[in-house]
Structure 1
């Protein structure tokens, strides 16, 4: 029974307060053997789904967490799956008859039984093709949170003329927030923020070399931006950028409704 079903049953007098309390307690923490405690109620409490960081987990552990989570939830994000485990994970998902959304240049997966598309609208833009994987991670997070995304990639300031049709489209589509993924010096986030009247989430990526390599210059540039309305997440934190953007977009959609 989902949380809204519990609350409706309580309202209609079909269940008692102690029964409702017991049912709601099931949406707290789910322990899996001795290696994981998953926050199955997070999406109801925060609007952000459970995310499994798979990078340093054993494949069998990830599978058990996915199965347990999808008993209580309609979807789960699995981020940074090791490349040697990625195909095996796809086989596991199909064998269990779950649905799946993947992304270009990323091993992050959105595994689900059903998804809604009832949230806000988000624009996602990257400076270069090397930034796409991190942007796709953000997209999958936004879609897990019921948002629709308009994505345009490889429009950095090295050819700034490419950017203006994209910004025009974002304005025409009335996006609620924009995510800008950029490496090197990360200047695209400041430029985009200076042209729009919606919140912009700067997503620095670890693309770059030499002085300020591995995203350090991009992060510093975004943090010191002169353009107001720009917020910044950590280097390569596509999940974090998507979560913040989707929360903003969903609140905007709720306010309009």
Structure 2
């Protein structure tokens, strides 16, 4: 349940549109719902600003589908990440409005339309091989109602590709910088913009890149002050960081 949904329910109860019994039934499954193999955190949207997300890795098709169904029973948008194609097909068969984003390995289900959170996110990715991680970040931003723009293949091997979009990047309120190899892109971006930069190392690279460890260490040692770093290949986490920043900023401005 989203905070706005709870406010709407309480207002409906106050105005007599919703009965006490109906309101009780809506609230009875809060703060969590026990499915036996999972406890769904229905309060997360109220506490954190966005609802619980289904993480597909390590779960059976039946478990992912059951969790997704219960999340979809509410009014909030639903996101499942790291979803295998076969599991995604099962979800989309069950929910005709669900969308499978193959590059991101994510499934989204958009419920009632909501206004976009004020502010904008720009995602820059170093190479085409980083696209799956950048797409996971983009899909997550979109389902969390953030305005997002993506610039792909703008790594430091051809810096002119990055500077060609510099005006748009500088206009962002949060930049997510995705890079593998030596992980230099976030440091370069961090030295060019005033807004928060969230760095995402990817596992793209050769030998001593150690599946993203070299990029992770480089980003943690960035000379550009204040760059935030999430885990290797964690585009989802970067988008959630951006959502927290913009949600808090919009609440302060209000």
In 1: Cα distance, 2:94 partner to 2:47 partner:
29
Matched length:
250
In 2: Cα distance, 1:30 partner to 1:135 partner:
32
The offset of 1:103, in angstroms, is 3.4
If the length of structure 1 is used for normalisation, what is the TM-score? 0.87
Say whether 1:204 aligns with 2:206: no
Candidates 198, 221, 224, aligned match of 2:221: 224
Candidates 87, 101, 104, aligned match of 1:103: 101
User: Is residue 104–residue 132 contact of structure 1 (8 Å, CA) maintained in 2?
Assistant: no
Candidates 12, 34, 44, aligned match of 1:31: 34
In 2: Cα distance, 1:19 partner to 1:77 partner:
27
In 1: Cα distance, 2:69 partner to 2:87 partner:
17
Equivalent residue, structure 1, for 2:238: 241
Candidates 50, 58, 64, aligned match of 1:48: 50
**Structure 1 residues 82, 104: CA separation in 2 closer, same or farther (over 3 Å shift)?**
closer
The offset of 1:9, in angstroms, is 4.4
The offset of 1:167, in angstroms, is 2.1
In 2: Cα distance, 1:125 partner to 1:163 partner:
8
The offset of 1:241, in angstroms, is 0.6
If the length of structure 2 is used for normalisation, what is the TM-score? 0.88
Equivalent residue, structure 1, for 2:151: 152
Say whether 1:90 aligns with 2:63: no
User: Is residue 65–residue 90 contact of structure 2 (8 Å, CA) maintained in 1?
Assistant: no
**Structure 1 residues 144, 107: CA separation in 2 closer, same or farther (over 3 Å shift)?**
same
The offset of 1:162, in angstroms, is 0.2
Give the secondary-structure state (helix, strand or coil) at the position aligned to 1:214. Answer: helix
User: Is residue 104–residue 136 contact of structure 1 (8 Å, CA) maintained in 2?
Assistant: no
User: Is residue 202–residue 232 contact of structure 1 (8 Å, CA) maintained in 2?
Assistant: yes
User: Is residue 39–residue 50 contact of structure 1 (8 Å, CA) maintained in 2?
Assistant: yes
Equivalent residue, structure 1, for 2:175: 178
Per mean C-alpha deviation after superposition, the further-off stretch among 71-80 and 84-93 is 84-93
User: Is residue 175–residue 195 contact of structure 2 (8 Å, CA) maintained in 1?
Assistant: yes
CA RMSD of superposed structures (Å): 2.5
Q: Deviations over 1:65-106 (max 9, x none)?
A: 111111123221111112343333332321xxx343x43522
User: Is residue 49–residue 247 contact of structure 2 (8 Å, CA) maintained in 1?
Assistant: no
Where do 4+ consecutive residues of structure 1 move more than 6 Å? 13-22
Give the secondary-structure state (helix, strand or coil) at the position aligned to 1:125. Answer: strand
Per mean C-alpha deviation after superposition, the further-off stretch among 67-76 and 143-152 is 67-76
User: Is residue 91–residue 98 contact of structure 2 (8 Å, CA) maintained in 1?
Assistant: no
How is 1:64-83 mapped onto 2 (pairs within 5 angstroms)? 64-83=66-85
Give the secondary-structure state (helix, strand or coil) at the position aligned to 2:193. Answer: coil
Gaps of 5+ in 2: none
